[in-house]
Every structure is written in structure tokens, then in C-alpha cells.
């Protein structure tokens, strides 16, 4: 039961993070559109419709920060759960986990650049959009590669299984 709660927490955090990152990617995309409209010097209807760059930037950074914190918490709860199941080493070899860690780290780098004011605006927005594609790839892979199955604390790799299993818990 405790494991199941931990799983729900992990899943909830990860999906909340994906939603926040989706919002961040959307606002970053709109920032790039607005910015290119302004750079073009021939602003069209889109320019009048969209919010200001400042507002889009604030939405982008707030949702990115929220998403990053949720993502990090989701990953940590997953690792904690795996550690309790004594399968941390195996989980760390799981491509999904590696991709998730990489995505999280990249989001961290983007945020660090923004926070340290080394970069902002178009480059940060483009970074958010690109990393969101990586996040989508990570989600896609999660649904198409069978994960580590944990049985009584003994992890077994199940690549190639046809059972379409996701996580299985055997107490």
C-alpha cells in the first residue's frame, strides 16, 4: 500500500511536471513568434493578439520553474521508491530513467542560465521548446518500451516482452 502511494505520488508529480512544461513550451513558442514579428518590422495581426514579450516571458519562466521542481520531485520520489525496492541500480540503467534525468538536467541548465542572467529571451525560449520535444520523446519511449519489472525486490529487464506491461508490483 505504501509502495502504491509512492507510485501515485511519482506518477502525479511527473504528469503535473509535463503539464507545466507544456505551458512553458507554449509560452516560449509564442514568445518566439512575437519576437520574430517585432524583429520583422512588419507586425501583423498576430502581434496585436498576443500578450507582450514581458508577460510571455514571465509565464514561461514561472511554468518552467514549477515544472522543473515537480519533475525533480517526481524523479526523486521514483528513485526513492526504487531504492526501497532495492532496485535502484537497475532503474538507473533504464533508458526511460536516463532520458528523464537528462531532460531534467537540461531544464535545470536552462533555468540556471536564466537565473544567472547569462541569457534570456529568444535563446532561453528556444531552449525550452527544444527540451520539451525531448520530454515528449521521453514520454513516448515510456509508453513504447517495457520497463523494469520489480518482483520481490528482484528486478528483471523485460525488453521485447509482448505483455504490454507497465509497472507491476508483487508484494
Partner 1 sequence: MEILVVGLNHKTAPVEVRERLSIPSHKTGEFLRTMGERGIFNERLLLSTCNRTEIYGVEKQANGAIDAAKRFLSEYGRLDLKTLEDKLYVLRQPHSVEHLFSVASGLDSMVVGETEITGQVKDAYLFAQKNQQTGKVLNALFQRSLRVAKNLRTHTGIGAKKVSVASVAVELAEKIFGKLEKTKVLVIGTGQMSTQVVKAMVARGAQPLIVSSRHFDRARELAAELGGEAVLYAHYEHRMKDVDIIIAATEAPRLIIHEDQARRWMRERHEKPLFMIDIAVPRNIDTAVEKLDNVYLYNIDDLSGITEKNLAFRESQIENCFDLVKAQTGHYMNWLCKEFGA
Q: Which residues contact 153 (CB under 8 A, 6 or more apart)?
A: 85, 86, 87
Taking CB under 8 A as the criterion, which residues in 123-152 touch partner 1? 123
Q: Report the side by side order of strands in the sheet with 154-156.
A: 154-156, 149-151, 169-170
Among 4, 8, 15, 47, binds partner 1 (CB under 8 A): 47
Determine if 27 is a binding residue for partner 1 (CB under 8 A): no
Given a contact cutoff of 8 angstroms between Cβ atoms, the answer to whether 150 and 91 are in contact is no
Beta bridge pairs of residue 110: none
Q: Give me 25's grid cell.
A: 513550451
Q: How far is the CB of 45 from partner 1 (least distance, A)?
A: 10
Handedness of CA 46, 47, 48, 51 (dihedral sign): positive
With contacts defined by CB under 8 A, name the span among 40-48, 82-90, 127-135, 149-157 that binds partner 1.
40-48
Answer for the pair 156, 146: CB distance below 8 angstroms, yes or no: no
Q: Under the criterion CB under 8 A, does residue 55 sit at the interface with partner 1?
A: yes
Q: Does 29 bind partner 1 (CB under 8 A)?
A: no
Is 5 or 36 the residue whose CB approaches partner 1 more closely? 36
Please report how close the Cβ of residue 24 comes to partner 1 at its closest, in angstroms: 19
Q: Interface with partner 1 by CB under 8 A: which residues?
A: 34, 38-39, 41-43, 47, 50-55, 117-123
Amino acid at each position: 500500500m505504501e509502495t502504491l502511494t509512492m507510485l501515485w505520488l511519482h506518477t502525479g508529480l511527473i504528469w503535473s511536471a509535463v503539464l507545466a512544461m507544456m505551458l512553458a513550451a507554449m509560452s516560449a513558442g509564442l514568445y518566439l513568434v512575437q519576437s520574430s514579428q517585432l524583429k520583422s518590422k512588419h507586425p501583423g495581426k498576430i502581434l496585436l493578439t498576443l500578450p507582450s514579450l514581458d508577460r510571455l516571458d514571465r509565464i514561461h519562466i514561472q511554468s518552467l520553474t514549477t515544472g522543473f521542481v515537480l519533475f525533480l520531485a517526481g524523479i526523486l520520489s521514483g528513485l526513492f521508491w526504487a531504492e526501497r525496492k532495492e532496485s535502484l541500480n537497475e532503474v538507473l540503467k533504464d533508458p526511460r530513467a536516463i532520458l528523464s534525468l537528462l531532460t531534467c538536467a537540461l531544464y535545470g541548465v536552462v533555468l540556471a542560465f536564466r537565473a544567472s542572467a547569462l541569457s534570456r529571451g529568444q535563446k532561453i525560449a528556444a531552449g525550452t521548446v527544444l527540451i520539451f520535444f525531448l520530454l515528449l520523446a521521453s514520454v513516448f519511449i515510456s509508453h513504447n518500451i517495457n520497463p523494469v519489472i520489480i518482483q520481490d525486490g528482484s528486478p528483471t529487464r523485460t525488453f521485447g516482452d509482448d505483455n504490454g506491461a507497465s509497472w507491476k508490483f508483487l508484494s
